[in-house]
Amino acid sequence: MTGHGIVLAVLTAWALLAALLDLRYRRLPNPLTLGGAVIALGWLAITGEALAGPHWREAVVSGAVAFGFTLPAYLGGAMAAGDVKLCTAMGLMGGYTVTLWAFLLGGLVAGVLAIVLLRVGRDRRVPYGTAMAVGFMAALWFR
Give the model confidence (pLDDT) of 5-56 as tens digits.
Answer: 999 999 999 999 999 999 999 999 999 999 999 999 999 999 999 999 999 9
The count of C-alpha atoms lying within 13 angstroms of the C-alpha of 67, restricted to the half-sphere facing its C-beta, is 13
Quote the mean pLDDT of the chain: 94
So where are the chain's domains? 2-142
Q: Render pLDDT for 86-118 as a digit per residue (tens, 0 to 9).
A: 999 999 999 999 999 999 999 999 999 999 988
H/E element, 50: none
Are the beta carbons of 28 and 18 closer than 8 angstroms? yes
In this prediction, residue 112 carries a pLDDT of 94
pLDDT value, residue 70 = 96
CA distance 15 to 103: 14
φ/ψ (deg, to 5) at 15: -65, -40
